[in-house]
Amino acid sequence: MSSINYSEKIPNNVNLSEDRVLQRALEQWQPNYLKWWDQMGPEGSQNMDVYLRTAISTTSDGWAQFGHIKMPDYRWGIFLAAPEANRKVNFGEAKGADAWQDVPGEFRSNLRRIIVTQGDTEPASVEQQRHLGLTCPSGYDLRNLFQVNVEEGRHLWAMVYLLQKYFGRDGREEAEALLQRNSGDQDKPRILEAFNEPTPDWLAFYMFTYFTDRDGKFQLNALAESAFDPLSRTCRFMLTEEAHHMFVGESGVARTIARTCEVMKQYGIEDPAQVRAKGVIDLPTLQRYLNFHFSVTIDLFGADQSSNAATFYSTGLKGRFEETKRTDDHVLKNDHYGILQISNGALIETQMPMLNSLNEVLRDDYIRDSVSGIGRWNRVIEKAGLSFRLLAPHKAFNRHIGSFSNTRISPDGRILSEAEWQANVRNWLPSEEDRAYVASLMGRVVEPGKFANWISPPPIGINRQPIDSEYVRFN
Ligand SMILES: [Fe+2]
Ligand SMILES: [Fe+2]
């Protein structure tokens, strides 16, 4: 069950050939997907052989397969984690019942909406990253970018499988629409705002994979708890891929910091202008990128008070992060949660009904997880003997969704007038000038073992290969 059949047109571990209707629907969607990949996927990658990992089974050792693959020949398919025997609904009003193998009619439209929203983010990030290959800092990084891209493409397949198998004609229409919306498109944008922002340079890419792919981790974990078992199994396998994306982000930022610190030490300089003169990214600019990606990403969790979040939970569609590890009653009807709100010009925590606060619960879990990586980045700076420290901004900073969206708040959590905000925003968010400076560093480096001046080499290669191995071959 867990091993993947690559002999079929669509590789899968779901016995696709036994469901002719579904197989036909997916085989009709496949050429449209490939056309989308060709037009919106990684620019200029058609003739490259890339050292990619491919899933051969969904067990923990199934990732062992690494090899050079011609990019357009990558085999996207449908992989679900193995079923769990006698799985039960673990939360909400149906807690204790058998998990569902089909979609209950009354939850159909909410479930479809959840799957479409998740599915929409996957191709969006491929679109956001499509030009980055042209300015890669090394062949190693180019390979990592493409690994992330092919897997986000596969995550789209994962959601399209669910839509086509369980949602009939509506599902087929949604599957087509997922290829028609495009990131940043004026008329048909992607559903969530963070997925319409450009990812213009590699620092933005690393910040995106650290912060925004981590949103994916939390959303997928919450959906992995779903009473709808096929969604749960799909998300559980996607999570094994997501871990690598966050690694690319965390290590990419750490290597950028390491190189900056090395140069600062070498020349005994701290002034950002002097640091820039040496062709590396000054630490205050890194902080501003961090502020931007952190704040845009926490908006993805939605409004702090949400009746949809309550409904999704109570009906068993979407759980909490690590639902089954929690020791409460998993129904939450009588529980409360502290929500930060603005009242009389101050930030005040108010107890609100837990069920309506589940977006905020997930956001706070996310914030704890992202802050731990910022601590690891600071250790790189500390080891270099420098006093600068990166900080997560206050969660009310630069928000566009929820109760802070109409108030200006500084990264340290002070409520500001519009004039104070305007006078300081250049210190807090990347300015045009910051972005132009970072863009000026982006040149293409692909010779094996060579790295752009602004970033350090990684400590080890992919799959224990040497750092100077030929991760991407050009034909
Ligand atoms: Fe993904
Ligand atoms: Fe991802």
Answer whether 353's CB lies under 8 Å from 305's CB.
no
Among the residue ranges 53-57, 109-113, 126-130, 225-229, the one predicted with the least confidence is 53-57
**32 alpha carbon – ligand 1 mean position (Å):** 20
**220 alpha carbon – ligand 2 mean position (Å):** 10
Average pLDDT of span 260-283 = 98
* 148, pLDDT greater than 70: yes
The pLDDT score that the predictor gives to residue 61 is 65
**352 alpha carbon – ligand 2 mean position (Å):** 32
The pLDDT score that the predictor gives to residue 8 is 85
Task: Dump pLDDT digits (tens) for 59-78.
Answer: 766 666 899 999 989 999 99
**102 alpha carbon – ligand 2 mean position (Å):** 27
- Report which of residues 75 and 310 the model is more confident about: 310
> Which ligand is nearest to the Cα of residue 212, counting in written order?
2
**148 alpha carbon – ligand 1 mean position (Å):** 8
> Which ligand is nearest to the Cα of residue 147, counting in written order?
2
> Which ligand is nearest to the Cα of residue 122, counting in written order?
1
**269 alpha carbon – ligand 2 mean position (Å):** 37
Task: Dump pLDDT digits (tens) for 116-128.
Answer: 999 999 999 999 9
Average pLDDT of span 12-33 = 95
**216 alpha carbon – ligand 1 mean position (Å):** 6
* 390, pLDDT greater than 90: yes
CA distance 50 to 71: 7
Task: Dump pLDDT digits (tens) for 354-380.
Answer: 999 999 999 999 999 999 999 999 999
**155 alpha carbon – ligand 1 mean position (Å):** 5
**107 alpha carbon – ligand 2 mean position (Å):** 27
The pLDDT score that the predictor gives to residue 7 is 80
* 342, pLDDT greater than 90: yes
**356 alpha carbon – ligand 2 mean position (Å):** 27
* 337, pLDDT greater than 90: yes
Percent of the chain with pLDDT over 90: 92
The pLDDT score that the predictor gives to residue 325 is 96
What's the 3-state SS for the chain? CCECECCCCCCECCCHHHCHHHHHHHHHHHHHHHHHHHHHCCCCCCCEEEEEEECCECCCCCCCEEEEEEHHHCCCCECCCCCCCCCECCCCCCCCCECECCCCHHHHHHHHHHHHHHHHHHHHHHHHCCCHHHHCCCHHHHHHHHHHHHHHHHHHHHHHHHHHHHCHHHHHHHHHHHHHCCCCCCCCCCCCHHHHCCCCCHHHHHHHHHHHHHHHHHHHHHHHCCCEHHHHHHHHHHHHHHHHHHHHHHHHHHHHHHHHHHHHHHHCCCCHHHHHHCCCCCHHHHHHHHHHHHHHHHHHHCCCCCHHHHHHHHCCCCCCCCHHHCCCCCCCCCCEEEEEEEECCEEEEEEEECHHHHHHHHHHHHHHHHHHHHHHHHHHHHHCCCCCCCCCCCCCCCCCCCCCCCCEECCCCCEECHHHHHHHHHHHCCCHHHHHHHHHHCCCCCCCCCCCCCCCCCCCCHHHCCCCCCCEEEC
* 2, pLDDT greater than 70: no
Residues near ion ligand 1 (CB < 5 Å) are 122, 152, 155, 216
**220 alpha carbon – ligand 1 mean position (Å):** 9
**152 alpha carbon – ligand 2 mean position (Å):** 6
**411 alpha carbon – ligand 2 mean position (Å):** 27
> Which ligand is nearest to the Cα of residue 214, counting in written order?
2
**64 alpha carbon – ligand 1 mean position (Å):** 20
**341 alpha carbon – ligand 2 mean position (Å):** 31
The pLDDT score that the predictor gives to residue 62 is 64
> Which ligand is nearest to the Cα of residue 208, counting in written order?
2
**141 alpha carbon – ligand 2 mean position (Å):** 16
The pLDDT score that the predictor gives to residue 475 is 78
The pLDDT score that the predictor gives to residue 158 is 96
